[in-house]
Structure 1
Amino acid sequence: MSLTFLLLMLIALAVIIGIFTRKLDLLTYSEPDKNGKRQPNGMKWQPATFIFVAIVAALLQPMNYDVISVGHKGLLINLLGDKRGVSYTEEVSGVVFYNKYTQEIQEIPLDQRHIEYPESIIVAKGGFPCPIKPSFNYSVKESTAADMFTNLRSTYTKGGLEAIQEGWLNNAIIGAINDVANRHSIDYLFNNRETYEAEILSEVNKRIGKWFLVSQLKTNIQPPKAIRQSIEDKATADADAIKAEAQARVAQADAQRKIQLAKGDSASIVIRAQADAKAISLKQQEITSTYVEYQRVLKWDGVMPTTVLGSGSNTLYQMK
């Protein structure tokens, strides 16, 4: 709300109150008729002229005011400076009154902002193109906000910080990423990404650290398509090698298990054979001619065989 608008509202309010309280007499009246009524027939120029002059003065008066928002840096710019305000920038806060014809107020946001730029291409050492999609947080340094506005005024006045981050800041960030990438081979970029991004942040601070604080910078760099394919092929080959090695270990373990089982079976066969041989040996030691004849006697049923034998033959063994 401008100071001019407030003055016009006050003039209108004063006129309304004056009319209702009849303390502001703007009209002239005719002589009373036979009924004693008087009709308005004109306007008194003196109060009307005063109101008109007050309105014109409110419209043309040069002063205005602004309230500097919390979290912003207020700058009072003198438009009549020898460098169009460059030499006459004053830091202000709170409620500020200024001449709207010769001065202006700029509010620089100091809050932290997150930026994600669209995909672009950088070139690593050796000419390898790599797609990146950088993201980072940044904020304006309060101590150098006036100097930033002085140097980037033409861009800032077109669209504020949004215009700066899409133009000047974009070029600075992408330029720093590309310049650092040109120093290293493509293998280095992907095998040492943390170190690479730390180098970028250092380079960025050299370029814009005077006016901006940058943090959490990520390049989100991606390898070229051909290298991506080779990486995927290598990963597949490594996985296959690991799988084959695991299968070989399983097969070796299975073979060892079978060998142990075979050894166990052989040992049990040998033990059984030795036991059987021992048993046979013991039995052979026990069997004598007398023992055999004894077993025949035990099994004889008392009936003589009907076999025809020669005279003097006897089938029974003569036991003595």
Structure 2
Amino acid sequence: MNTRTFTWSAIVILLLLFSFTAMTSCTRIDAGHEGILVKLYGSEKGVQDVSLVTGRVWYNPLTEEVFEFPTYVQTVDYNPFSVNAKDGSVFTVDPTISFRVMAGESPRIFSKYRKEIGQITETTLYNYTRDAFRIQFNQYSTDSIISNRQSFEDKVQQALGDALKKEGFELEQMTSGLQYPEVIVQAVNLKNKAVQQAMQVENELKVAEAQARKKIVEAEAEARANDLRQRTLTPLLIQQQFIEKWDGRTPLYGNSPTFFKNVE
């Protein structure tokens, strides 16, 4: 009886152990990820040459471990940092990059850094981003950066893309978030203000000139009208206008009634 009990107990334990091992030695690699199998012990300790495809993977949890590397595009917004231009001006960069792991490169990346993608993003990729900006800033003066900002950022993106590609990453997009030094911002604002004031004064002068020309035209027209009236206002015309407006009563000029007043 004791032997039979012991046998059944051993069988149950083995079944439980087998079930536990089966559950822990199988994992599923989600879509948009690459799975890599890492040997924890033995002479082949490291990453297997072949990346595991998406799907269900069986492994020995005692001697092996499976990691997942996302292959979809990821975006990371780094904290701002300061960089010096060629002439010593201090610029602030607030970069955002979008990248992805190149297909089949997960084993090589993990073999080199022994970190998951999140840690690599916050350390290695951040350092590459800083270096790309630092190297390009050292080749540009303040004026050239401001005058050729698009060209400058294109070169930074090209340099960063080349550096990440060597590490197994593909740079999809980069925005610099470049912020000019406060002195430069103030100088630009003052320049813009001066330009705006000059445009305002010029507009006011144009308005004043237009108003002055309007008054001159009005005065010239009035003078010509008065001259024309003086030349056309003859005694006969005055008498005719008088008759047209006469109310039938004889007007009194001087001491006796007179029909017409001498206007000569």
Shared topology, TM-score over 0.5?
yes
Structure 1 residue 262 corresponds to structure 2 residue 222: no
Structure 1 residue 95 displacement after superposition: 1.5
SS in 2 for 1:101: coil
Q: RMSD of the TM alignment (CA)?
A: 2.6
The answer as to whether partners of 1:77 and 1:90 remain within 8 angstroms in 2 is no
Structure 1 residue 66 corresponds to structure 2 residue 27: yes
Structure 1 residue 172 corresponds to structure 2 residue 128: yes
Residue matched to 2:242: none
SS in 1 for 2:75: strand
Residue matched to 2:90: 129
1:14-53 equivalence runs, <5 A: 44-53=5-14
Residue matched to 1:91: 51
Amino acid at match of 1:103: E
SS in 1 for 2:46: coil
Gap regions ≥5 residues in structure 1: 1-26, 29-41, 284-298, 300-320
Q: Distance in 1 between matches of 2:230 and 2:132?
A: 86
Residue matched to 2:165: 209
Structure 1 residue 63 displacement after superposition: 7.8
1:147-296 equivalence runs, <5 A: 147-153=108-114, 156=115, 160-210=116-166, 211-276=168-233, 279-280=234-235
Q: Distance in 1 between matches of 2:7 and 2:104?
A: 55
Structure 1 residue 188 displacement after superposition: 2.1
Residue matched to 1:11: none
Work out the percentage of aligned pairs sharing the same amino acid. 24
Higher normalized contact order (CA 8 Å, seq sep 6+, divided by chain length): 2
Larger radius of gyration: 1
Q: What count of residue pairs does the alignment treat as equivalent?
A: 236
Residue matched to 1:12: none
Residue matched to 1:105: 66
Amino acid at match of 1:50: I
- Per mean C-alpha deviation after superposition, the further-off stretch among 207-216 and 233-242 is 207-216
Gap regions ≥5 residues in structure 2: 238-249, 251-264
Deviations along 1:160-189, one digit per CA (max 9) or x if unpaired, are 222111111001011101211111111222
TM-score (norm 1): 0.67
Structure 1 residue 81 displacement after superposition: 5.6
Q: Distance in 2 between matches of 1:61 and 1:115?
A: 37
Q: Distance in 2 between matches of 1:128 and 1:256?
A: 52
Q: Distance in 1 between matches of 2:44 and 2:85?
A: 42
Deviations along 1:173-209, one digit per CA (max 9) or x if unpaired, are 1110121111111122222222111111110012112
TM-score (norm 2): 0.80
SS in 2 for 1:228: helix
The answer as to whether partners of 1:129 and 1:224 remain within 8 angstroms in 2 is yes
